[in-house]
Structure 1
């Protein structure tokens, strides 16, 4: 494929696949967005760079492994921003391990482009959080209370993180947005909150649960699966599934079927043991629900 103009520093031959990995799909989405914004055609860009049009098409469809250098060439050709070039070039050069374990500021996976990509392209999102409310359900006040309580983040990082978290929630108001189910561990209600923050979060839940594609279910602390770490399963329109597992300072990205299986099993167990949605909503909206004043009974 040397006639296509692709370059790989370790001289490995670019490969194509009928089932592009998540990393390929994320890169391809960025390239396609930049191409469409430029109003240029794939044939035009291929000719400009001395590449073949089929290989250029595979590149923007996620069916070709490419280096950061070739990604940069493509983005310069479509006059992408410096920020886009830096982000997508760095993404292309990540090793599989580095892509699987993505570090982030304490409790702020929201700043990771991969998490945003997964949410925007999801048809279904199922999330479980044992000790706090799921990020996509946070009010600004709740998020700020939790982040400042760590004592590990600067004010600037907190502000940027909250903005990223709220921006991610836009998928919930999109008419074509995903169907979402959030399993919340009972211990999340033990979080002590300022009264105004608790009231605002409960008001938000009241509005949140009016939407037919949003589901909240409480998980009693006695459920065995409640000891699992927080995780989210994303399923796209092609039924491809990815799980992100949450730690305080890194997000684990899983797409191998063997790695997904324990989380798929956990979701089945949570669905069978969590309180029904009506009961869960009633508990969440009960005055004094936060601060451990109410408890779930399975």
Structure 2
């Protein structure tokens, strides 16, 4: 980024393959927009210099299209960006942005509305998740996930249900990586552990899995259970995920609001701050994370 009046710089955004292509594409997109604004060049002029349309420039500056290095270099020349270090970092970002997204091996099983979340969560520094009805997808066992997916999509073939479950299971791997893993704070309603999902055995093994994950990932995973007594603070009614990134000056907070058959994303600071406040309030009234193992052991006893 840049101070007032200074030329924008991309050097503050590192080349980090583990963050995924979408994060690199989004950071580069915002940087190109800031460079154009700093140079005082209209979208129409920028479009002319690479023989394209204003709509394409808009898609580039919103990270909604693939980047071609030759076009990006011409834009940088037009924007009077001459620092070789800037050009080198941008070339790295263009290359990284062109790689397959994390969900693409599961393309047939990844719902389109979920793909932006799947693409951006590897770049998160901190993830807060609220789930009023189910164990969050990152933390589900295979049999729990398949039961949930089959209930929501009873006409889907067994193979697609298995692929969707496999996609959910691989999401936890980002918490296990060696380089800059995210921290996941997941808040669940206490009723999640009373609501039968599959057989008692499925529920028992799911709760055991949560206990195992807490032991395995003591620094990266924090679970809180919200009792019914939290009242209105827990009346959100639908899953919410709030992502905060390692480089917020390049990647603004992202909020994911899940509905039954769709999802909504919010990025405006006023909206992300509102959901941050809602989730902070919920975390404040939920049982502390230190009590979660004991609460899970109690829940486990009811499914023996």
Q: Same fold (TM over 0.5)?
A: yes
Q: Work out the CA distance in 1 between the residues paired with 2:247 and 2:205.
A: 37
Match in the other structure for 2:245: 236
Say how many residue pairs are matched.
Answer: 233
Match in the other structure for 2:35: none
Match in the other structure for 1:71: none
Matches within 5 A, 1:68-147: 112-147=114-149
Bigger drift between 152-161 and 256-265 goes to 152-161
1:238 match: secondary structure: coil
Q: Work out the CA distance in 2 between the residues paired with 1:218 and 1:113.
A: 27
Q: 1:269 to 1:54 in 2, by over 3 A?
A: same
Q: Work out the CA distance in 1 between the residues paired with 2:265 and 2:273.
A: 14
Extract unaligned runs of 5+ from structure 2. Answer: 1-45, 79-85
| 2:163 corresponds to 1:160 | yes
Q: 1:186 to 1:241 in 2, by over 3 A?
A: same
Matches within 5 A, 1:158-237: 158-175=161-178, 176-193=180-197, 194-210=199-215, 211=217, 212-223=219-230, 224-228=232-236, 229-237=238-246
Q: Which residue among 220, 238, 263 is the counterpart of 1:251?
A: 263
CA contact (8 A) 1:125 1:180 kept: yes
CA contact (8 A) 1:242 1:253 kept: yes
Q: Work out the CA distance in 1 between the residues paired with 2:195 and 2:262.
A: 22
- Normalised by the length of structure 1, the TM-score is 0.66
Q: CA deviation at 1:246?
A: 0.8
CA contact (8 A) 1:4 1:50 kept: no
Q: CA deviation at 1:4?
A: 3.5
Q: Deviations over 1:118-158 (max 9, x none)?
A: 21111100000011111111111111111112354402331
Extract unaligned runs of 5+ from structure 1. Answer: 36-41, 63-73, 88-103, 294-298
